[in-house]
Amino acid sequence: MKNHNKYSQVNHIKVNNGQTVEELLSEFRSSGVFGPGRIAEAIEVFTEMLQNKATVFLGIAGALVPGGMRKVLVDLIRNDMVNVIVSTGANVTHDLIEAFGGRHIHKVPYTSDAELREKSIDRIYDAFVSDESFMKLEDGLQPIFQEIWDERSENKQLSLTTYKLLEIIGSKISDKDSFVLAAYEKKIPIFVPAFSDSILGLQLWLFSQTHKVFIDVMGDLSKIQQIASDSDKAGTFFLGGGVPKNYIFQSRLMSPKTYEYAIQITMDRVETGGLSGASLEEAISWGKTSGKSKMVTVVSDITIALPLIFAGTLANMQRDE
Amino acid sequence: MKNHNKYSQVNHIKVNNGQTVEELLSEFRSSGVFGPGRIAEAIEVFTEMLQNKATVFLGIAGALVPGGMRKVLVDLIRNDMVNVIVSTGANVTHDLIEAFGGRHIHKVPYTSDAELREKSIDRIYDAFVSDESFMKLEDGLQPIFQEIWDERSENKQLSLTTYKLLEIIGSKISDKDSFVLAAYEKKIPIFVPAFSDSILGLQLWLFSQTHKVFIDVMGDLSKIQQIASDSDKAGTFFLGGGVPKNYIFQSRLMSPKTYEYAIQITMDRVETGGLSGASLEEAISWGKTSGKSKMVTVVSDITIALPLIFAGTLANMQRDE
Amino acid sequence: MKNHNKYSQVNHIKVNNGQTVEELLSEFRSSGVFGPGRIAEAIEVFTEMLQNKATVFLGIAGALVPGGMRKVLVDLIRNDMVNVIVSTGANVTHDLIEAFGGRHIHKVPYTSDAELREKSIDRIYDAFVSDESFMKLEDGLQPIFQEIWDERSENKQLSLTTYKLLEIIGSKISDKDSFVLAAYEKKIPIFVPAFSDSILGLQLWLFSQTHKVFIDVMGDLSKIQQIASDSDKAGTFFLGGGVPKNYIFQSRLMSPKTYEYAIQITMDRVETGGLSGASLEEAISWGKTSGKSKMVTVVSDITIALPLIFAGTLANMQRDE
Amino acid sequence: MKNHNKYSQVNHIKVNNGQTVEELLSEFRSSGVFGPGRIAEAIEVFTEMLQNKATVFLGIAGALVPGGMRKVLVDLIRNDMVNVIVSTGANVTHDLIEAFGGRHIHKVPYTSDAELREKSIDRIYDAFVSDESFMKLEDGLQPIFQEIWDERSENKQLSLTTYKLLEIIGSKISDKDSFVLAAYEKKIPIFVPAFSDSILGLQLWLFSQTHKVFIDVMGDLSKIQQIASDSDKAGTFFLGGGVPKNYIFQSRLMSPKTYEYAIQITMDRVETGGLSGASLEEAISWGKTSGKSKMVTVVSDITIALPLIFAGTLANMQRDE
């Protein structure tokens, strides 16, 4: 039998009253296994990604804004931890709902979804949003669309990439807790490849009934591929899978480079073959990442793991300064 | 204690040698619980949807074509069990790969994904596709894009909805096992809301580097909402979640009508709040379905449950004729 | 670029009206990927296990009897496809409930679990069982315990292994659809390592309040290890995880031999570290299986996958005869 | 449209550098949805359970000790937050491995499980334990079994309940980080209903080859039912499912009382019908809990959620003092 003393020990996590999050995450790191181990590893990979000036591509899927993650998204941006965002239309929609005075609510008692419908309340698992909030979105967006039209239409046409449209919208709102505003201020592009697949997209479609408006999907592709190609080093931080994960991965597919870093938080499974749950190792076979890339998958509700990973990385980065 | 004899019994599933799939599904129905119960219910709802002439919206997400579902998709179309398709770009991409002579392969031995990369083989869990197959896609698609350009560009510009583009592509291929061809033949529109998020999208982007090509995203929205609005009764059949699920659901959001029927097969969980795993009941609160809608969620690998649900519904429909 | 023609193709699953289950499973095999590929592989491994006369250890966890799997379990036994059973107490309990005239019911309408409680109906997801059925279990079991006492107690004491107790119970019941009876008839031992963790255990505890009854846990261990040790070749078929999976795996741990074959059907995840969801590969490191063992994990609701795997293996075995 | 201002807002989680865990959990509470909402609710329910002097039944399943949770278990005991423990044999086994000088290790590089077998290292997902550590367990346990035999056997026989056996073992070890020792010191019984289903059980079986030793399974049932019956109020805290969850639930089944509080952390799904993933609401129909019970399910890797729930509850309890 070999001597196994060379291997490091699983140190059991010690919780103390008054402990800081940073101290608890240090316990997670010295445990090093299962979920806490993966969270600690994600913090390490994210920190190295930032220290090595990799271009960070953040993918946002799932109900993150209704799920209370809006400030974390803003702080990721404000602390220079993100360079490019690819989002579902829904997360931008829900960010703007709050920017225009709408709200996400909780602890709404109900006995059936039909009862909620009667009360004009829409349910997202145990978060809720009223039809009234969607009206505020409409009331906020339509005048902005008109302004953009007035400023930018040519020959009675307006064609915009999604990142440009969101940059302009960002410039016209004032809610400091909006990640669309924060991204505008930090000059970080937000791409929404499935723009039409959201209330935001439906709002633009409404506007398009009276104005010739086009979404320049190909322009988005040119821009993100340019960024990916210009990036010496690049890393991904996938909050969920879906379109954002694939779109980010494919953006470096046409270049000889791969993503040197990749982090994903997901509850999707690997065995069904879908990309959302696919392992990051699989991406090596496609040339999206390489055998030398540093990669970590955290299997968790994003809304639990993301605040912890952000907190740990923030502490690392501020300690370095 | 009350008398419970009025309730029907869980009849245990009996498997016989030589049994037909239809007979086994009849056993599933008389068991009536857990997975088999849900599959039997999905068959009932799908059958009723068809018998009542509801417009059937099929959502296709996940790796269904690499996962061996191509013929089932074709047969759903050829047997008039689908009226509208909303797909990820990937499923169309993989359908066309085969249409142009490429192949999906399996049982490829490998010790690491880096080894696969060296061999130019891309992995999708335990299915594989070679770079060579992607080249066949390129060789097949680019001339078609040129043909379309020659036939349809105006003022050196070409703007197409995704459903129109796929209809034209369908008209120009000959592989009888292609669902893109089958949809063209049956005049069934295929919408790909996140068109740019796929190799198909990247191929069009390549073409767009030398030709002014646009994807008319808003035109897609107009068309699908028109269909949804024109449909007296409508039902959804979601194979996975993602963009197709949301896009189909939102297409009836602007009309006073809801989906009278809804079926989904998914492995995603409800607790994370993401739409992919969301319950169909939740859709009632949004007015996408109603308290009177017939709905069933099958928690299963789609590639296991879909052939069974299709087989059972086909048997029901052919018996009726 | 290498030539990849040597690799076999993913043949898309073809569903036909009138198709037998065996024909559909043949389609699953020629697809070969994702869930259908795993089911086909499980059939192959199970068939080889039987053809090579391996001792088959069946682990039964989860709500299989309430879930309609009772006849499949009986037929696995009657067709000589199982040699040893390790079960949760619950599955034996629910088998005996039906043997004594109780029933599992479904499609019980209810608005809350509190309403079910008032009606004396117990819920198991969407299967149900009434308190009345549990009374039939009590009325059936207690006289049998008394008979066993009368026949076998010595010095006013009775000590029994669980496999012996279930053998005797099997000999005293007459419901041909009972797997406890089928196992008795085929001389197949049923071990219930967590006997006290079930209504069956509570019933024996009730009897033990007036009779000195002991469960000979160590005798069970001796017996199963003897069987495992006497088996030249051995294989596992795990329906779910829990105690049965671990107990079967550990039974060959003290011998130099490993399990040459291993199949598991489970929905549990690998990432939490728990044994229920653990990969079969992990078992190699423990010496429970070896690098040469044939192993397959099917990620599925057991009640969907088991009838298919049984059907395919039965067809293979009867074709061989 | 109704006025929805009466409903409370989802406050987005704010992460700050230097933040304490308690402060972050306060953010979780004011978000109130998805995973963070469930964690905050679990803390509330656990706190109320303790403040109202409910008897707390802790269920321990899954690989918690290899997963770094040993100190949290100890601190739950030392801070009087637990009154009864029901554990898998494995968690006691791994606690004792460390008590006798063995170790759990991590970051072991390996290319295959067969390589680990050659190195005599056993894998538990990404935690590891060497055969050497199991030998330390054997070297520690066998003399203790002999001591117990010498002290307690009568008529050359020894019969012990599992809680008594573990109490005695607890009294004979000195590792202050052992939860078996902590439970002994706090006079908290540890029940292991599937004792024989573990290395601990196999070690006793080895000893039983030369000594007539019995596990008094019925005595365990008497004791836990007595405790459950004597408890005015009672609550459960399930770390995973399996035998511990069922055994705790059934212990109050024979009394007219139900569990007033119930918390579970699990990744198992509800749809398969198995008890491990079953909702706590389902328990109402069985009379294990009632419609008035306070219940919360946290869907998470236990090793992530448990330290957070413990930290929050500890802070609440120490603030109260």
pLDDT tens digits for range B213-262 = 999 999 999 999 999 999 999 999 999 999 999 999 999 988 889 999 99
First to last CA, chain D: 47
Asked if residue B34 is part of any domain, the answer here is no
Kindly list the residues from chain A whose CB atom is less than 8 angstroms away from the CB atom of residue D13. Answer: 68-69, 71-72, 303, 307
pLDDT tops 90 at residue C69: yes
pLDDT at B1: 45
Percent of chain A residues topping a pLDDT of 90? 96
pLDDT-derived band at B273 (thresholds 50, 70, 90) equals very high
pLDDT at A45: 98
What letter would DSSP give residue A27?
A: H
pLDDT tens series, chain D, 321 aa: 455 678 999 999 999 999 999 999 999 999 999 999 999 999 999 999 999 999 999 999 999 999 999 999 999 999 999 999 999 999 999 999 999 999 999 999 999 999 999 999 999 999 999 999 999 999 999 999 999 999 999 999 999 999 999 999 999 999 999 999 999 999 999 999 999 999 999 999 999 999 999 999 999 999 999 999 999 999 999 999 999 999 999 999 888 899 999 999 999 999 999 999 999 999 999 999 999 999 999 999 999 999 999 999 999 999 876
CB nearest B71 (choices: C7, C14, C24): C14
Percent of chain B residues topping a pLDDT of 70? 98
Spatial distance between the Cα atoms of C110 and C257, rounded to a whole number of angstroms: 52
pLDDT tops 70 at residue B86: yes
pLDDT in tens, B274-313: 999 999 999 999 999 999 999 999 999 999 999 999 999 9
Q: Phi and psi for C307 in degrees, rounded to 5?
A: -60, -35
Asked if residue B286 is part of any domain, the answer here is yes
Q: Do D124 and C267 touch (CB under 8 A)?
A: no
Nearest chain C residue to B308 by CA: give it: C15
**Candidate list C164, C223, C245, C288, residue with the active-site label:** C288
pLDDT at B3: 57
Q: Do B126 and C4 touch (CB under 8 A)?
A: no
Asked if residue B31 is part of any domain, the answer here is no
What the block records as the tokens of A194 is: 């499935």
Most C CBs within 10 A among B3, B5, B7, B266, hence the mutation to make, goes to B7
Asked if residue A108 is part of any domain, the answer here is no
Q: Phi and psi for D288 in degrees, rounded to 5?
A: -80, -35
Q: Do B221 and A215 touch (CB under 8 A)?
A: no
Q: Do D214 and C213 touch (CB under 8 A)?
A: no
**D235 near D252, Cβ under 8 Å?**
no
**Can D186 be counted among the known catalytic residues?**
no
Strands C104-106 and B8-9: antiparallel
For residues C133-142, give the mean pLDDT.
98
SS3 letters across chain C: CCCCCCCEECCCCCCCCCCEHHHHHHHHHHHCCHHHHHHHHHHHHHHHHHHCCCEEEEEECCCCCCCCCHHHHHHHHHCCCCCEEEECHHHHHHHHHHHCCCCEEECCCCCCHHHHHHCCEEEECCEEEEHHHHHHHHHHHHHHHHHHHHHHCECCEEEECHHHHHHHHHHCCCCCCCHHHHHHHCCCCEECCCCCCCHHHHHHHHHHCCCCEEECHHHHHHHHHHHHHHCCCEEEEEECCHHHHHHHHHHCCCCCCCEEEEEEEECCCCCCCCCCCCCCCHHHHHCCEEEEEEEEEEECCHHHHHHHHHHHHHHHHHHHC
**B27 near C314, Cβ under 8 Å?**
no
Q: Does A156 touch chain D (CB under 8 A)?
A: no
Structural domain tally of chain A?
1
Q: Does A273 touch chain B (CB under 8 A)?
A: yes
Question: Which candidate, A283, C242, A258, places its Cα nearest to that of D89?
Answer: C242
pLDDT-derived band at C319 (thresholds 50, 70, 90) equals confident
Q: Phi and psi for C34 in degrees, rounded to 5?
A: 50, -145
User: What average pLDDT is seen over chain C?
Assistant: 96
Q: Do B299 and D34 touch (CB under 8 A)?
A: no
What the block records as the tokens of D58 is: 């802790």
Alpha-helical regions (H) of chain D: 21-31, 34-51, 70-78, 89-99, 113-118, 131-152, 162-171, 179-185, 199-208, 217-230, 242-251, 282-286, 302-320
pLDDT at C1: 45
Distance to chain C for A269, nearest Cα, Å: 8
**A191 near A163, Cβ under 8 Å?**
yes
Q: Is the dihedral of CA A276, A277, A281, A286 positive or negative?
A: negative
The 10 Å Cβ neighbour count of residue C111 is 9
Nearest chain D residue to C292 by CA: give it: D114
CB nearest D120 (choices: A2, A108, A130): A2
Q: Does A272 touch chain C (CB under 8 A)?
A: yes
How far, CA to CA in Å, does B211 sit from each of A186, B167, C291?
33, 20, 56
Strand arrangement of the beta sheet that strand A121-124 belongs to: A121-124, A127-130, A105-106, D8-9
Asked if residue B317 is part of any domain, the answer here is no
Asked if residue B41 is part of any domain, the answer here is no
**A241 near A259, Cβ under 8 Å?**
no
Give partners of C (≥3 CB pairs < 8 A).
Answer: A, B, D
Q: Do B35 and D271 touch (CB under 8 A)?
A: yes
pLDDT at C255: 83
Q: Do B243 and A246 touch (CB under 8 A)?
A: no
Q: Does D176 touch chain B (CB under 8 A)?
A: no
Catalytic residue set of B: 288
Spatial distance between the Cα atoms of B70 and B182, rounded to a whole number of angstroms: 11
Asked if residue B232 is part of any domain, the answer here is yes
Kindly list the residues from chain B whose CB atom is less than 8 angstroms away from the CB atom of residue D272. Answer: 34-35, 299
Spatial distance between the Cα atoms of C152 and C144, rounded to a whole number of angstroms: 12
Q: Do B34 and D273 touch (CB under 8 A)?
A: yes
| A residues 59-78 closer than 8 Å to B (CB) | 61-63, 66-67
What letter would DSSP give residue D35?
A: H
How far, CA to CA in Å, does A259 sit from each of A237, A252, C21?
11, 7, 45
Q: Map tokens 């009867």 to a residue.
A: C318
What the block records as the tokens of C262 is: 């291993």
| C residues 221-240 closer than 8 Å to D (CB) | 221-222, 225, 240
β partners of residue A128: A105, A123
First to last CA, chain C: 47
List Cβ neighbours of D24 (8 Å cut-off, separation of 6 or more): A21, A307, A311, D13, D15
Q: Do C273 and A33 touch (CB under 8 A)?
A: yes
Give partners of A (≥3 CB pairs < 8 A).
Answer: B, C, D
Q: Does D282 touch chain C (CB under 8 A)?
A: yes
Kindly list the residues from chain B whose CB atom is less than 8 angstroms away from the CB atom of residue D31. Answer: none
ipTM score here?
0.97
pLDDT tops 90 at residue B319: no
**B50 near B81, Cβ under 8 Å?**
yes
pLDDT at A1: 45
Q: Do C113 and D253 touch (CB under 8 A)?
A: no
Q: Do C4 and B132 touch (CB under 8 A)?
A: yes
Q: Is the dihedral of CA A190, A193, A198, A203 positive or negative?
A: positive
Kindly list the residues from chain A whose CB atom is less than 8 angstroms away from the CB atom of residue D182. Answer: none
Burial of A159 (0-12, 13-18, 19+ CB in 10 A): middle
Strands B213-215 and B158-160: parallel
Spatial distance between the Cα atoms of D60 and A133, rounded to a whole number of angstroms: 44
Spatial distance between the Cα atoms of C182 and C189, rounded to a whole number of angstroms: 11
Distance to chain A for B321, nearest Cα, Å: 35
User: What average pLDDT is seen over chain A?
Assistant: 96
**C121 near C132, Cβ under 8 Å?**
no
Question: Which candidate, D86, D94, D106, D103, places its Cα nearest to that of D65?
Answer: D94
pLDDT tops 60 at residue A164: yes
**B101 near B107, Cβ under 8 Å?**
no
**D252 near D289, Cβ under 8 Å?**
no
**D188 near D83, Cβ under 8 Å?**
yes
List Cβ neighbours of A100 (8 Å cut-off, separation of 6 or more): A136, A137, A139, A140, A141, A173
pLDDT in tens, A58-94: 999 999 999 999 999 999 999 999 999 999 999 999 9
For B176-307, list the strands marked E by DSSP.
190-191, 213-215, 234-239, 259-266, 289-299
pLDDT at C6: 82
pLDDT in tens, B38-75: 999 999 999 999 999 999 999 999 999 999 999 999 99
Q: Does A197 touch chain B (CB under 8 A)?
A: yes
Q: Does C304 touch chain A (CB under 8 A)?
A: no
Q: Do A34 and C269 touch (CB under 8 A)?
A: no
Asked if residue D125 is part of any domain, the answer here is no
Q: Does B35 touch chain C (CB under 8 A)?
A: yes
Spatial distance between the Cα atoms of C293 and C258, rounded to a whole number of angstroms: 8
How far, CA to CA in Å, does A5 sit from each of D99, D132, D133?
17, 11, 11
**C305 near C39, Cβ under 8 Å?**
yes
Domain that holds residue A87: 37-102+131-320
Give partners of B (≥3 CB pairs < 8 A).
Answer: A, C, D
pLDDT at A6: 81
For position B147, which CATH number holds? 3.40.910.10
Q: How many CA atoms lie within 13 A of D74 on its CB side?
A: 21
**D237 near D57, Cβ under 8 Å?**
yes
